[in-house]
């Protein structure tokens, strides 16, 4: 007789298959000669599906890096971005197939930097008025959200998954007196050679060197998010089984005035902190921060380099305090991970796209 654990595993897989096939509609039910129009049958089967789905499905927030959508060295053509987004969505679809309800946040560093350059070129050549940062972030929310929604839809069609996907324009409130406005650290735009910086610094831009030696990038203020607008709607849509794309690029930065009116402000909110805030608001079961390496390291790029696998919150805090993680790179990801873990009691996984569906991979941060 097979062991008990094997029988339980088999039953679980059978239930997963049932829910997946049931979601396809009448074609699956026709196999059993079931008439879904009959009220008692519909009620019973719908109740079974809801119960199994509630037991199985966990809500996950995925923070997708902007560099995963536009790789270093690429020009940013539509074809390049579509190919990158499609590859990313294949991995997201794998996670969805494991039974997760999904909310996707995404970065926009390279993209919003390119939009700023387009503004500069348009002004210098045709005197087209430059647009402020909040408008540029809104533009990238629309364009990146469109690409993710379209490519994930196409993959779901290929896999015969019937699920709605929706992109939302998201405003995120920050404090006007946040100290981040005095110390810009958030990288945006392409990488530059050191000899190219002088002419651009004349425009009032500030630059930091990339810790991995890929060049120099413009840095802007990155204040902490204090409120994700319309998070209740995002949670409702996600728990109804829809895939939601929200808080793109960290959200459109706005401040709340004394009369409760909203106003845009020049900043780029860190997408990991914004996604963590959203994950806490919607009571997510797991938070995935995706980057271009499979694990977090201490003593990075040194002979003493060490990979982190399963790490407690207190150990990770110590590494952060010891300066193991670079600002504008891994440090904000670790802060976002710690914030979610401590606020929710659930785990954060920092990894790359290819490892997303592999349990036990990446750096898993948990409460001690």
DSSP 217-235: EEEE--PPP-EETTHHHHH
What 8-state DSSP symbol labels residue 75?
A: -
Catalytic pick from 99, 119, 145, 186? 186
Q: Are 273 and 224 in contact (CB under 8 A)?
A: yes
357 is known as an active-site residue: no
119 is known as an active-site residue: no
Catalytic pick from 271, 328, 346, 362? 271
Q: Which long-range contacts (CB under 8 A, 24 or more apart) does 258-266 make?
A: 262/171, 262/173, 264/132, 264/133, 264/134, 264/135, 265/133, 265/134, 265/174, 265/176, 266/132, 266/133, 266/134, 266/220, 266/221
Catalytic pick from 328, 333, 346, 362? 333
d(CA 269, CA 285): 23
Burial 341-352 (b: 16+ CB within 10 A, else e): beebebbbbbbb
241 is known as an active-site residue: no
What 8-state DSSP symbol labels residue 343?
A: H
φ/ψ bin of 78: left (φ > 0), alpha (ψ from -120 to 50), beta (otherwise): alpha
Q: Are 271 and 105 in contact (CB under 8 A)?
A: yes
271 is known as an active-site residue: yes
Catalytic pick from 57, 65, 66, 84? 66
Within 10 angstroms of residue 95's Cβ, the number of other Cβ atoms is 17
186 is known as an active-site residue: yes
Catalytic pick from 20, 49, 67, 86? 67
Q: Are 54 and 20 in contact (CB under 8 A)?
A: no
Closest by CA position to 5, among listed 163, 341, 13, 226 = 13
Q: What number of H helices and E strands is found in the chain?
A: 12, 17
Q: Would you name the residues annotated as active-site residues?
A: 66-67, 186, 271, 333
């Amino acid at each position: 007789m097979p062991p008990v654990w094997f029988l339980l595993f088999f039953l679980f897989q059978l239930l997963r298959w049932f829910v997946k096939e049931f979601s396809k509609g009448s074609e699956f039910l026709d196999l059993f000669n079931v008439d879904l129009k009959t009220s008692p049958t519909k009620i019973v089967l719908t109740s079974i599906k809801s119960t199994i789905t509630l037991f199985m499905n966990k809500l996950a927030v995925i923070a997708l890096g902007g560099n995963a959508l536009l790789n270093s060295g690429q020009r940013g053509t539509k074809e390049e971005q579509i190919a990158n987004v499609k590859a990313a969505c294949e991995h997201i679809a794998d996670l969805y197939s494991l039974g997760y309800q999904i909310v996707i946040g995404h970065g926009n560093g390279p993209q919003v930097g390119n939009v700023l350059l387009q503004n500069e070129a348009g002004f210098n050549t045709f005197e087209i008025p430059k647009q402020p940062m909040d408008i540029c972030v809104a533009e990238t929310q629309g364009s990146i959200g469109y690409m993710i929604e379209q490519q994930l839809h196409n993959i779901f069609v290929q896999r015969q998954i019937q699920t709605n996907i929706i992109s939302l324009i998201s405003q995120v409130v920050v404090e006007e007196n946040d100290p981040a406005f005095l110390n810009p650290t958030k990288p945006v735009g392409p990488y530059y050679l050191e000899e190219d910086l002088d002419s651009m610094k004349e425009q009032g831009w500030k630059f930091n060197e990339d810790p991995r030696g890929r060049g120099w990038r413009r840095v802007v203020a990155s204040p902490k998010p204090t409120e994700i607008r319309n998070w209740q709607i995002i949670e409702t849509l996600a728990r109804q089984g829809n895939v939601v794309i929200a808080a793109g690029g960290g959200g459109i930065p706005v401040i709340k005035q004394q009369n409760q009116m909203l106003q845009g402000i020049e900043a780029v909110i860190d997408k990991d902190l914004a996604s963590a805030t959203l994950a806490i608001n919607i009571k997510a079961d797991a938070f995935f921060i995706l980057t271009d390496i499979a694990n977090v390291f201490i003593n990075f790029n040194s002979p003493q380099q060490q990979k982190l696998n399963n790490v407690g919150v207190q150990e990770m805090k110590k590494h952060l305090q010891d300066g193991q993680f670079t600002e504008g790179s891994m440090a904000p990801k670790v802060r976002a991970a710690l914030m979610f873990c401590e606020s929710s009691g659930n785990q954060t996984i920092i990894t790359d796209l290819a490892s997303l569906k592999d349990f036990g991979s990446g750096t898993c941060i948990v409460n001690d």
